[in-house]
């Protein structure tokens, strides 16, 4: 098994990544968390962590009025409820078997 860090804009549907999630009671939704080189034990305890496969990657359209269209991506990840917004330059840990 090999793990590499890659930008989200370089990923494709079907890539396997390290991911975790928790329920945010303030926002009333699940929030995904991508793990990196500086992930702390506290983050792992809060979000849990597992390997998830990216099911769908969508660019944010300007018509959605979320920040600035094109700079953000919606990710749908198997095993994580809902879809999640990330800046496309964020890095994810990709797992290769």
pLDDT at 14: 96
One-character DSSP codes across 26-83:
TTTEEEEEE--TT--HHHHHHH--EEEEEEEEEEPPGGG-SSSTTSEEEEEETTSSSE
pLDDT at 70: 66
Please determine, for residue 19, whether its predicted confidence score (pLDDT) is greater than 80. Answer: yes
Beta strand pairing call for 72-77 and 29-34? unpaired
pLDDT digits (tens, 9 = 90+) for 37-89: 788 999 999 999 899 999 999 988 777 666 565 688 999 999 999 999 998 88
pLDDT at 75: 95
Query: Using an 8 Å Cβ cutoff, are 48 and 22 in contact?
Result: yes
Within 8 A by CB and 6+ apart from 33, the residues are 19, 20, 21, 22, 43, 46, 47
- Domain locations in the chain? 2-96
pLDDT at 68: 63
Longest dimension (CA), the chain: 41
Report CA torsion sign: 47, 52, 56, 60.
positive
């Amino acid at each position: 098994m090999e793990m590499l860090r890659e930008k989200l804009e370089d990923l494709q549907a079907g890539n396997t990544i390290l991911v975790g999630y928790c329920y945010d009671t303030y926002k009333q939704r699940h929030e995904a968390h991508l793990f990196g080189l500086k992930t702390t034990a506290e983050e792992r305890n809060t979000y849990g962590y597992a390997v998830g496969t990216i099911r769908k990657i969508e660019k944010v359209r300007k018509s959605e009025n979320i920040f600035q269209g094109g700079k953000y991506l919606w990710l749908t990840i198997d095993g994580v409820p809902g879809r999640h917004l990330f800046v496309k330059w964020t890095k994810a840990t990709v797992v290769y078997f």
